[in-house]
Chains A and B, each alone.
Chain A
Amino acid sequence: MSEFVRNIRLWFAPEQVRGEGPTPDYRFSLANERTFLAWLRTALALIGGGFAVDQFLPHLHRAWRVGLALALLGAGVLCSLRALNHWVRCERAIRRGEDLPASRFPALLSLVVAVVAVAMVVVVLAGWAG
């Protein structure tokens, strides 16, 4: 947990990241930045999906609609914060010449997306039948 707090401090303090080890090949940093942006796009897509569920499934029961939308929005928020944290950790690992950090997050996110997708199929089919 203290590691996480230290990372949060790094989010706002560029000098500290630069203080770790020598400046790496700029291409590594740019590749890390693109990975960060790809995760941020995923987060924005999840947030957009949250808005879309609310708007394009108007016949759904309100509780289901709000629940699904909030699940997608929560996933989007988690995804964006994790993108930032992972970017900081990778940047530091590159500077120190360590292995890049391993992560369970992709597996977790796929599970959440799969559960939301199955829930949506069930809800839409139930609404169709009823």
Chain B
Amino acid sequence: MGGVSRAGRDPGLQPERTRLAWRRTTLSAAVAAVLAVRTTLRGGASATAVTVGALCCVLFLGFLWVAHQRIRVLAAESRPPALAPRQATAAVLCAVALAGCAAVVLVA
């Protein structure tokens, strides 16, 4: 994996560890999204419920896309550049929007 030559490999495996941290975080986002969709569909498939459930799926896909971009960079380079603030902000906004969906479903 990664296409990094043995000579250029970081002995501390920092890019790999960071890549796996992104994977774990994506998994957490998947669990939260599944719980979200389950919550929205429990009360019957009203128009609001379906819309919010679909929005949760889209938010998860957005997070997955950000994580995938970063994982590709981490896997391709032996000295990867630092995370761009835009990517960090996008990941955080997905989480915040998911919480917003939850609040809408709870209060409605």
Residue numbers of A with Cβ under 8 A of B are 10-14, 17, 23, 26-27, 29-34, 36-38, 40-41, 43-45, 47-48, 50-52, 54-55, 66, 69-70, 73-74, 76-77, 80-81, 83-84, 87-88, 91
How would you classify the secondary structure of chain B's contact residues: helix, strand, loop or mixed?
A: helix
Flag whether B64 is at the interface (Cβ < 8 A).
no
Question: Do A11 and B85 touch across chains, with their CB atoms under 8 A apart?
Answer: yes
Q: B42 an interface residue at 8 Å Cβ cutoff? A: yes
Q: Which residues of B contact A (CB under 8 A)?
A: 10, 12, 14-15, 17-18, 21-22, 24-25, 28-29, 31-32, 35-36, 38-39, 42, 79-86, 88-89, 91-92, 95-96, 98-100, 102-103, 105-107
Q: Is A14's CB under 8 angstroms from B84's CB? A: yes
B102/A11 in contact, CB under 8 A: no
Contact of A33 with B42 in the complex, beta carbons under 8 Å:
no
Cβ of A83 and Cβ of B81 under 8 Å apart?
no
Q: B32, B35, B100 — which one has the most chain A CB atoms within 10 A of its CB?
A: B32
A48 touches B28 (CB 8 A): yes
- Tell me the minimal C-beta distance from A31 to chain B in angstroms: 7
Q: Which of B80, B92, B106 contacts A69 (CB 8 A)?
A: B106
Contact, CB under 8 Å: B85 / A14: yes
Neighbour of B96 across the interface among A33, A34, A81, CB < 8 A: A81
* Chain A residues in 8 Å Cβ range of B99: 47, 50, 73-74, 76-77, 80
Cβ contact within 8 Å between B106 and A66: yes
- Name A18's closest neighbour in chain B (CB-CB): B82
Question: Which of A31, A80, A87 has the largest number of chain B CB atoms within 10 A?
Answer: A80
